[in-house]
Amino acid sequence: MKVIVARDLVKYHGGDLKVLSGATLSVEAGEKVGLVGRNGAGKTTLLDILAGHSEPDSGSVEHPGGAKVGMTAQKLYVGERGALSLEQEIISAFEPLMAREKELEELGTRLSEDPSDALMERYGRLQSEFERDGGYAYRARAASTISSLGFAPEDWKRPVGSFSGGEQSRIALARLLMEEPDLILLDEPTNHLDLRAIEWLENFVKGAKSAVLVVSHDRYFLDAVAGSILELEDGVLARYPGNYSKYVTEKKAREEQLARKAKANAERRAQLERFVEKNRAKASKASQAKSKQKLLDRMEKIDDPRSASKNVRLDLGKETARAGRVVLELEDVRYAHDDAEGPLLEDLDLVIERGERVALLGPNGTGKSTIMRLATGELQAQRGMVRTGNNVTLAYQDQQLARLDDHKTVLQEAMDTTGFDAPEARDLLGAFLFSGEDVFKKVRSLSGGERNRLSLAEIVVSGANMLLLDEPTNNLDIPAREALEDALLEYRGTMFFISHDRYFLRKLATRVVDLEGRKLRNYLGGYDYYRSHRRLDEAPKGGKGRQRRRVRPGQNKEQGILATRLVAVEGEIDATERRVARLEKELATSELYADGKRSREVVKEHRQLKGVLDGLYADWGTLLEEAEEEGL
C-alpha cells in the first residue's frame, strides 16, 4: 500500500526560477528511500510540498487512506512549547498511549469500588491493547532515545527552548521518530549528531514501521538504511533500486550508455551538417540537401551527461614546505572554560608526525573543537604545553566558519585573505563554482555550502603544510565531498581533522584519536581499525584480550570454516600489533635519528604495517559480523 503519491510537481521560486519540473514519486508503506541531488536542486522544496508546508504551482500530492506524514518544523521550540522540559516533549509523542494509560488508572479505581463483569471485561480488553501497542515500554523507549542522542540525565528537566539550535534539531528528530507516522520525511538528519548517535539513528530507521524518505549527503548512512534512491536533477526525479553504492554504479552505467548515444548522435548530426553545407548550393543536390536539413531539424540532440556536470576543482597536490618530524605536540594539557566547575580537558597528550592524517573523534560537547583552537593558539591551556613543530604553517577551518567576514563581498574576502588581485581571485573562485555575479554577493548571504566552498578556496592557496579542519564536509553536497576527499588524498602535508562523515573518515584517516572522559585514546590505524577496537573496548569484560572464536564440535562446515578464518586473522593482528609496538618504542628514541638510513627504514615499515593492520581489522570486522549472523 502506498502512503504518498506525487504527480507532475512544478514549483517556481521568485516567479521565474523553475525548481521542480514535473517531479513524480510514490512511497510504499514501510519503504526506506534516500533522496539525493546537488545543493540547490530543490530537495527541501520537494519535502516541504510532500509535508503540506507549501503548495506546488501545479501537480498533485495524495495520501492514500489518509496516511499521516511527519516532518520536523522549520521553527522549532518557540513560545509556550519552548517551556516544556526535554522529557515532556519526547513523552508527548505517546499521547494516545498516555490517554489509554490514564483511562486504565481510572478504570482501576472504579473496579475497586464496583468489580462488575462489564468493567472487568472492558479493563482486560483495554489492558491487552495497551500492552500490544507498547504501553508498558514507552517511557523506557523515550529514555533510551534521549540518551542515545547524547543528552545527559541532568538535561531531561531543562526547557527545550533553552537548548542550542543543533540540540533542538535532535530533540525534534527524536520526537518525530517516536511518534511513528505513516511516512517520516527527514532533511539531513545526521547533521548535529555524533558518530554514536548516527549509528543509533541508522538502527532506528531500519527498524521503524514507518516509511521514511530521507534527504542526506551522508553516503554511509544512505548505504545502511536506503532500499532505493531517488535522484532529483533538473527538476525531475529518477529512481534507482538499491542503496547509495548501487545507485552510484547504476548511474555511472546509465551515463556511459547515454554518452555513447550522445557520441553517435553528434557524429550523425555532423555528417548531415557537412552534407547540407557542401551541397545546398549545387543544383543537382539542392533537393537532397533540403531533405537532409529537414531530417537534421527533426533529429533530437542528445547531450553528453558528463559535459553538463560542474564540480568544485580542488588542487592540493602541490609541494609544501617540509616541516619537522613532529608537527604538533600537546603534553599534559588541562583546559577549563571560565564559567565551568571542572575541566573540559585533563592530562591531555598528543603527538602528530609529519604526513599523518589524524582524525579526532568523540561525542558532541567533549571538547574536540577546543583542542583545535588550542592547537592554533586561539585558546591557552591552563596547564601543560601546546607546541607546533619546526617550519610548520597552519591553516584552520573552524566548524562555524567564523573567520569569514560577513560584511565583505565574496570577491573582497578572497582578495583580502589570499593577497590575489581581482582577476586572480575570480579565477580561484570560479574553480569553486562562484561565477558571474556570484562573486559580488555579500558573504552573509551565502548558504552553508557556499560558505564552506569559499573557506576551502582560501585554504587551497594558503601554502600551509598542516591543515586543521573542523567538520570540513558540513553543508557540502556529495560531489563536492568527493572532490574534497580526492584533493586531500593528494595533499602532501599533515592533517588533523574532526568529522562525523564515515565515508570521509574511512577514505582519509591514517590514525584515530578518540576524546572521551576528558582524555584522548589513541588508535593506531584508520576508521575500520578504530571501529573494530571500539567494539572490543565496549564488549562485556570478563576475559583477557580479544574474544577468541574456536572451532567447536557440533558446528556445521560453514561455521567451522568461519571460526578458523577468525582465529587466523586474529593471530595475524596480534603478531602485527606486537611488531608495530616494537617499532614505536624505537621511534621514540633519539638514537634512531642519528642513523638516517635506519630511521627511514623504521618509519617506512611502521607506516606499511599500519596499512596492513587497517586491512586486517576490516577483514576481522566483516568476519565478526558473519560469525554473529551464523550464531557463533
Residue-wise pLDDT for 191-237, tens only, equals: 878 888 888 888 888 888 899 999 999 999 999 999 999 999 999 99
Q: Which H or E run includes 384?
A: strand 383-388
pLDDT of res. 541: 44
Q: What is the average pLDDT across 35-53?
A: 92
Q: Which H or E run includes 394?
A: strand 394-397
Taking the CA atoms of 106, 107, 112 and 114 in sequence, report the sign of the dihedral they define: positive
The DSSP string of 103-125 is HHHHHHHHHHH---HHHHHHHHH
- Average pLDDT of the chain? 85
Closest CA to 496 of 380, 356, 385, 401: 356
> In terms of pLDDT, which residue wins out, 553 or 388?
388
Q: Tell the residue number behind the cell numbers 599523518, with chain if given.
A: 356
SS3 string, 428-447, reads HHHHCCCCHHHHHCEHHHCC
Per-residue pLDDT for 309 more than 70?
no
Taking the CA atoms of 435, 436, 442 and 445 in sequence, report the sign of the dihedral they define: negative
Instruction: State the Cα–Cα distance between residues 230 and 215, nearest whole angstrom.
Output: 9
CB 579 within 8 A of CB 608: no
User: What's the DSSP call for residue 163?
Assistant: S
Q: What is the average pLDDT across 270-280?
A: 87
Q: Which residues contact 169 (CB under 8 A, 6 or more apart)?
A: 72, 76, 191, 192
Residue-wise pLDDT for 83-134, tens only, equals: 889 988 888 888 888 998 898 888 888 888 878 888 888 888 888 888 888 8
C-alpha cell at 530: 578504530
CB 245 within 8 A of CB 216: no
CA atoms within 13 A on the CB side of 564: 8
The answer to which of 311-315, 361-365, 439-443, 480-484 has the lowest mean pLDDT is: 311-315
pLDDT of res. 536: 60
Residue-wise pLDDT for 561-618, tens only, equals: 777 777 777 777 877 887 887 777 777 666 766 677 777 777 778 778 878 887 888 8
Per-residue pLDDT for 40 more than 70?
yes
Closest CA to 306 of 239, 261, 272: 261
Instruction: State the Cα–Cα distance between residues 485 and 227, nearest whole angstrom.
Output: 26
Q: Please give the C-alpha separations between residue 196 and each of 10, 203, 363, 540, in angstroms, as whole numbers.
A: 39, 11, 7, 18
Instruction: State the Cα–Cα distance between residues 449 and 461, nearest whole angstrom.
Output: 19
pLDDT of res. 588: 65
Confidence of residue 542 (pLDDT cuts 50, 70, 90): very low
Q: Which H or E run includes 215?
A: strand 211-215
What does residue 323 show for φ and ψ, rounded to 5 degrees?
Answer: -85, 170
Instruction: State the Cα–Cα distance between residues 584 and 164, nearest whole angstrom.
Output: 43
Per-residue pLDDT for 74 more than 80?
no
Q: Please give the C-alpha separations between residue 458 and each of 120, 408, 415, 434, 470, in angstroms, as whole numbers.
A: 74, 14, 9, 13, 15
Confidence of residue 548 (pLDDT cuts 50, 70, 90): very low
The DSSP string of 225-274 is H-SEEEEEETTEEEEEES-HHHHHHHHHHHHHHHHHHHHHHHHHHHHHHH
Q: What percent of the chain has pLDDT over 90?
A: 35
Residue-wise pLDDT for 346-360, tens only, equals: 999 999 999 999 999
Q: What is the average pLDDT across 237-263?
A: 92
Asked whether the whole model's pTM tops 0.85, one would answer no
pLDDT of res. 196: 82
pLDDT of res. 545: 41
Q: Please give the C-alpha separations between residue 7 and each of 12, 15, 59, 80, 308, in angstroms, as whole numbers.
A: 16, 21, 6, 38, 27
Per-residue pLDDT for 262 more than 80?
yes
Alpha-helical runs (H) found in 391-477: 410-418, 422-431, 448-460
CA 218, chain centre distance (Å): 3
Instruction: State the Cα–Cα distance between residues 10 and 266, nearest whole angstrom.
Output: 31
pLDDT of res. 466: 94
Q: Please give the C-alpha separations between residue 569 and each of 132, 511, 528, in angstroms, as whole numbers.
A: 45, 21, 15
Q: Which residues contact 407 (CB under 8 A, 6 or more apart)?
A: 442, 443, 444
From first CA to last CA, the distance across the chain in angstroms is: 38
**How big is the chain by its Cα radius of gyration, in Å?**
30
